[in-house]
Structure 1
């Protein structure tokens, strides 16, 4: 075996062990050897390196099955480093600070003072720089290991912003500016990609997963064989600009009749306003308007939503589709109605459900994506930690 082969095998074994430590939360060296099939000497050597790097820590806990000392358990060192996930929305920015165990320990929302991206980036830098310096002292020895920024628009495979339909940002590179100002690795990605990554990492660790975001526009994030599917040059997932009415409403993308003009939650709220609904359907409301006009507006909205989902199912044959929106997350009857409207005999899927992560999914996914890259693993599985149940209390 040459040196290159030995180095590759060592990295492979390290990745396998880290993935299992993350997934199982706490386990012994013997457990690791049994689960992975690696011999005890290899496990011991790798674990020693991880402990020396402050990535893994030992913990004496639990009862011994036989007489003698209690087993020494291994778990991630939560305070060994932290990451930041950022979601730049139309008029605000969501920010999540996350430790190595995937726990969101701090969150910030910035109201944007200017829609120009340059000013938004300036505001972001001013806000998070003192927080980075503060948390660096507590998360040692690695400190901040990276930042991931979600953009509501097209981001190419060079991490450049090609176009955002709402703000009209086009052909902009903010990666270099942020890396220079914050002195860390920065990833720029589409918000739907980071949202589906969060769904897999925190709630549904299947190898193939779809997430449709519905807030102001519509985006599609795809996990295929545990990887974010990006398509040619990174443009995949702009499903909101699938045409559902060939002579429909004009869209900022240049087409007419785009799906998000009829099936985004913004489109629903606009339709309800036109229907003179006596009951305002707020972002977190679980009460549906009762007027006849409102009911018709909602039914039309669900018709269009079902049309697009039908197309996605027939093109991709996904196992599971997660819908993430401020309204749909609190209205489970919407899901039932959508499924009733999927009447095609060739529709084949296992489940459609609402997101349990909500509006912070993009920022969560971004922070977790940074940690995944820091560990150098193929997949990160925080589902056993169940953080999504308390994310809004951070």
Structure 2
């Protein structure tokens, strides 16, 4: 006979399994849920009763008769019962996205950020709290379930901001202040970690997935066996500070020749605007297709980008790499140009692609991470919800 501890553990495990399947399948009956999970109908019924009581799940009758007799009762996540918030604090702006309990984005705002993190924290509280009060009245009875904050820098496993190269923030914890103000759970993580999580949740249901962010610097988010790989203290993925030029340009991190000094889109943008001051980015890129100077700048940039990618591929052997940058996302031919530069016979990967989530990836990942914590599950899969076309 199981003791109390074993019974409690199994009950929690069954709950996780059922919630994951309900999210993944969007809508399904109790009998289908029992069949695909392998749980007996009594267990499924007991668990669903609890989820209904908590307003996490709702029942709906199928619109059309499948067989004669009663219409089957379908279960789905009660999307409008609550919501989460994802926040991405980038170099110049703060991108904020609100999603329902089904992960559907329903409100987005962009703030021009202050320079100091303390001021930014107050700015977030002042701007977001009135909106939380508004949406708590609409998304009932659960309301706000959590907030995820993405930082472009090093964040440890305790949510402490250790260092941000661009802003020079170091050894700061903003979590407690945000928890007190928002009255919910708050997690802080590296923006690349949130970005790769969003890619898995919304676009690429893969157990092994890499996302390289190229916007203001270069970061790497790694999902390995369906878990974000963080390293010893949470610092993994800082490949923007991988040295690719011995005695190269000086970096704010303290090294010389860091990859992001040569291959971030910030660097590409700077070089393009120096040569083409009136260029509108990223859309204006297409107008330069016949310009030799543009191609010289681009070739130099892609050479450096490929050097770093070659290192990442040879070290990690990833299944899929997603590149996320404002220029590369809208210019898919860049991908083939990069792949043409990966000539090593030991390069081994399945696919490189541009992100469809774009600059919203980190904020979406923060919101999805808050949902994952709220549900207490190991995985969230919104791939079949077709949200991506409505994002941005």
Is structure 2 residue 25 aligned with structure 1 residue 24?
Answer: yes
Matches within 5 A, 1:71-82: 71-82=72-83
Question: Partners of 2:43 and 2:77 in 1: how far apart?
Answer: 19
Matches within 5 A, 1:275-290: 276-277=275-276, 280=279, 282-285=281-284, 287=286, 289=288, 290=290
Question: Partners of 1:273 and 1:366 in 2: how far apart?
Answer: 32
- In the TM superposition, residue 286 of structure 1 has moved relative to its aligned partner by 5.1
**1:277–1:291 contact (8 Å) kept in structure 2:** no
Residue in structure 1 matched with residue 69 of structure 2 by the alignment: 68
- In the TM superposition, residue 158 of structure 1 has moved relative to its aligned partner by 1.1
Q: Residues 279 and 332 (structure 1 numbering): CA distance in 2 closer, same or farther, change over 3 Å? A: farther
SS of equivalent residue, structure 1 residue 95: strand
Residue in structure 2 matched with residue 157 of structure 1 by the alignment: 157
Matches within 5 A, 1:165-244: 165-244=165-244
Matches within 5 A, 1:137-148: 137-148=137-148
**1:278–1:291 contact (8 Å) kept in structure 2:** no
Where in structure 1 are there 5+ consecutive unaligned residues? none
Residue in structure 1 matched with residue 3 of structure 2 by the alignment: 2
Size of the aligned set, in residue pairs, is: 390
Residue in structure 1 matched with residue 353 of structure 2 by the alignment: 353
- In the TM superposition, residue 62 of structure 1 has moved relative to its aligned partner by 3.6
Question: Partners of 2:27 and 2:52 in 1: how far apart?
Answer: 14
Please give the per-residue CA displacement for 1:167-198, whole angstroms capped at 9, x wherever unaligned. Answer: 11111110111111221111000000000000
Question: Partners of 1:329 and 1:207 in 2: how far apart?
Answer: 23
Question: Partners of 1:54 and 1:124 in 2: how far apart?
Answer: 29
**1:322–1:352 contact (8 Å) kept in structure 2:** yes
Question: Partners of 1:284 and 1:318 in 2: how far apart?
Answer: 31
Please give the per-residue CA displacement for 1:301-333, whole angstroms capped at 9, x wherever unaligned. Answer: 000000100100000000000000000000111
Question: Partners of 1:386 and 1:357 in 2: how far apart?
Answer: 12
Q: Residues 70 and 258 (structure 1 numbering): CA distance in 2 closer, same or farther, change over 3 Å? A: same
- In the TM superposition, residue 279 of structure 1 has moved relative to its aligned partner by 7.0
**1:281–1:287 contact (8 Å) kept in structure 2:** no
Matches within 5 A, 1:1-394: 1-112=2-113, 114-274=114-274, 276-277=275-276, 280=279, 282-285=281-284, 287=286, 289=288, 290-392=290-392
Question: Partners of 1:66 and 1:272 in 2: how far apart?
Answer: 63
**1:285–1:327 contact (8 Å) kept in structure 2:** no
Question: Partners of 1:219 and 1:29 in 2: how far apart?
Answer: 42
Q: Residues 57 and 285 (structure 1 numbering): CA distance in 2 closer, same or farther, change over 3 Å? A: farther
Question: Partners of 2:326 and 2:87 in 1: how far apart?
Answer: 18
Question: Partners of 1:288 and 1:256 in 2: how far apart?
Answer: 34
- In the TM superposition, residue 292 of structure 1 has moved relative to its aligned partner by 1.8
Please give the per-residue CA displacement for 1:51-89, whole angstroms capped at 9, x wherever unaligned. Answer: 111000000014333210110100000012111000001
- In the TM superposition, residue 91 of structure 1 has moved relative to its aligned partner by 1.6
- In the TM superposition, residue 277 of structure 1 has moved relative to its aligned partner by 3.4
- In the TM superposition, residue 291 of structure 1 has moved relative to its aligned partner by 2.3
Q: TM-score, normalised by structure 2?
A: 0.97
SS of equivalent residue, structure 2 residue 138: coil
SS of equivalent residue, structure 2 residue 67: coil
Q: CA RMSD in A?
A: 1.2
Please give the per-residue CA displacement for 1:311-369, whole angstroms capped at 9, x wherever unaligned. Answer: 00000000000000000000111101000000000001000000010101000000000
Q: Residues 126 and 49 (structure 1 numbering): CA distance in 2 closer, same or farther, change over 3 Å? A: same
Question: Partners of 2:208 and 2:286 in 1: how far apart?
Answer: 33
**1:285–1:330 contact (8 Å) kept in structure 2:** no
Please give the per-residue CA displacement for 1:30-67, whole angstroms capped at 9, x wherever unaligned. Answer: 11011001111111111111111100000001433321
Question: Partners of 2:335 and 2:291 in 1: how far apart?
Answer: 21
Q: TM-score, normalised by structure 1?
A: 0.97
